[in-house]
Amino acid sequence: MKKWYAVIGEPIAHSLSPYMHETWFKEHGIDAAYIPVQVKPADLEKAFFALKTLGVSGFNITLPHKESILPLLDHIDETASAMNAVNTVVFDGENYVGFNTDGDGFVQSLFAAPVKLSARVLVIGAGGAARGISYALKRSGFSDIVIANRTIARAEELARDIGGSAMTLADAEKSLGDFGIIIQTTSVGLSTDQALPISLENVKSGTIAADIIYNPLETPFLIKAKEQGCHTVNGVGMFVGQGAIAFEKWTGIKPDMEKMKELITNKLG
Ligand code: ATR
């Protein structure tokens, strides 16, 4: 029987996941489909039951279901459990197992830039995305991680969980020159009004500045960072990275990320 996969979320119409996975399936001669499914929060349980009944082999989960899917699954892997968020589900023939590939996808994409593990890393934001990324940074061997957030208590909690330190946004702004890598994870970057979560006046030229948002490709944060002489990393790599790890979990095949980054960039550009 033809295998099929899905991504569930709301909204879902503009997701590039179906394009990405179907391209990889084709490239590797796998006869499988990948379908976007719009699901309202109140319908998640029914939708999951329907996917199971119809024999889904695996699926991705995006906003707003990344947390609410957890109690419905048979097993949650350690990373997803620490994150309290799942973005990938694998059906192993018996159980539906939840993973979170967002953080590792981001860190993989960061290694496309000339990063050093000894660099002092600033993570701006302390929400779900920051949590996934901070854990993945720690696992990948970065040892000096600072979390800065508008609500300092959330920064302190995340810093405690990963063994890093916390700062106010104002203090981070003043000491930007101490950081080799700056990662913007807040939702501020989504706005088109040039708003920034912090001012980048004190950033050193050559610093690596990364944003997790991929649409727009050039966020206000990345535009300003580039002006300041930073090496910028946009969110396309994270999007492709999380998808590549999910694809590998489903098929055992590592897909070509670089080629996909180009295809997605062209689609968005
Ligand atoms: P996600 O799961 O996408 O990370 P989230 O958990 O809602 O979403 O977190 C959003 C992040 O953006 C938080 O760090 C939030 O800061 P607070 O913890 O203080 O709410 C940050 N954020 C949102 N709007 C912001 C703004 N206008 N200025 C600074 N930070 C902002």
Distance of CA 67 to the CA centre of its chain: 14
Domain count, the chain: 2
Q: Note down pLDDT in tens along the chain; length 269 residues.
A: 789 999 999 999 999 999 999 999 999 999 999 999 999 999 999 999 999 999 999 999 999 999 999 999 999 999 999 889 999 999 999 999 999 999 999 999 999 999 999 999 999 999 989 999 999 999 999 999 999 999 999 999 999 999 999 999 999 999 999 999 999 999 886 666 667 889 999 999 999 999 999 988 999 999 999 999 999 999 999 999 999 999 999 999 999 999 999 999 999 98
- Residue 33 within a domain: yes
pLDDT at res. 196: 87
- Residue 265 within a domain: no
Q: Write down which residue in 41, 66, 100 finishes a domain.
A: 100
Both 119 and 200 in one domain: the answer is yes
pLDDT at res. 192: 61
Both 138 and 59 in one domain: the answer is no
Q: Are 118 and 145 in contact (CB under 8 A)?
A: no
Mutate to test the pocket of ligand 1, among 100, 186, 239 (most ligand atoms within 8 A of CB): 186
pLDDT at res. 136: 96
d(CA 7, CA 14): 11
User: In this structure, what CATH number is given to the domain that contains residue 162?
Assistant: 3.40.50.720
Both 220 and 130 in one domain: the answer is yes
pLDDT at res. 25: 98
pLDDT at res. 193: 63
Which atom of ligand 1 lies closest to the CA of 66?
A: 2
CA-nearest residue for atom 8, ligand 1, is 127
User: How far does residue 125's CA lie from ligand 1's centre (Å)?
Assistant: 6
CA-nearest residue for atom 22, ligand 1, is 186
Both 54 and 146 in one domain: the answer is no
Domain that residue 7 falls in: 3-100
Binding residues for NADP(+): 78, 125-129, 149-154, 212, 235
Mutate to test the pocket of ligand 1, among 83, 150, 221 (most ligand atoms within 8 A of CB): 150
User: In this structure, what CATH number is given to the domain that contains residue 58?
Assistant: 3.40.50.10860
- Residue 60 within a domain: yes
pLDDT at res. 78: 94
User: Which residue, 126, 142, 136, is CA-closest to 101?
Assistant: 136
User: How far does residue 259's CA lie from ligand 1's centre (Å)?
Assistant: 32
Q: Are 65 and 12 in contact (CB under 8 A)?
A: no
